[in-house]
């Protein structure tokens, strides 16, 4: 797709460079990669990339989660508020669901999102939204 490297291969390359304070899978690493996507250096992350960042299935707040627990806390909060249980037997299944959510949002909001952001939504935007949900809820 466009001849750009994948998010995962770019993450792997940056991890091999061994930049101080840039722990592979950590928050700074994720943010740098998302910036590289914005500047057109690599493809956006896929659902599975986000699942790996969150520590895989089962998703739960733990030391296993890399780069913060905001998105994980949002998953827990949404389940609690809606009285639902989001269970996935594999990380791949959750990744596919996240990809589907992004696709669905882009179909429903394509015009508005493109006018506002100048591009379609990506999994990185979903991660950012989940963190904002968690942060907002923690204020109360």
Per-residue pLDDT tens digits for 14-25 = 988 888 888 877
The phi-psi region of residue 42 (left if phi > 0; otherwise alpha if psi is between -120 and 50; otherwise beta) is: beta
Give dist(CA 26, CA 134) in Å, integer.
18
Map out the domains of the chain as residue ranges. Answer: 7-138
pTM over 0.95: no
What share of the chain has pLDDT > 90, as a percent?
A: 25
Q: What is the mean pLDDT of residues 109-130?
A: 88
Residue showing tokens 């999994």: 123
Percentages (nearest 5) of helix, strand, coil residues in the chain: 60, 0, 40
Q: Give pLDDT, residue 117.
A: 87
Q: What is the pLDDT of residue 44?
A: 96
Position 64 confidence tier, pLDDT thresholds 50, 70, 90: very low
């Amino acid at each position: 797709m466009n001849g750009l490297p994948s998010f995962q291969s770019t993450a792997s390359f940056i991890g091999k460079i061994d930049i101080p304070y840039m722990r592979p899978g950590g928050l700074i690493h994720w943010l740098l990669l998302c910036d590289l996507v914005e500047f057109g250096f690599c493809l956006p992350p896929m659902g599975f990339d986000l699942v790996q960042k969150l520590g895989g299935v089962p998703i739960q707040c733990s030391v296993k989660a890399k780069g913060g627990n905001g998105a994980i806390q949002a998953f827990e909060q949404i389940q609690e508020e809606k009285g639902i249980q989001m269970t996935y037997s594999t990380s791949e299944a959750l990744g596919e669901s996240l990809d589907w959510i992004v696709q669905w949002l882009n179909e429903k909001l394509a015009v508005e999102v493109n006018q506002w952001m100048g591009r379609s939504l990506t999994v990185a935007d979903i991660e950012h939204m989940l963190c904002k949900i968690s942060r907002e809820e923690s204020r109360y």
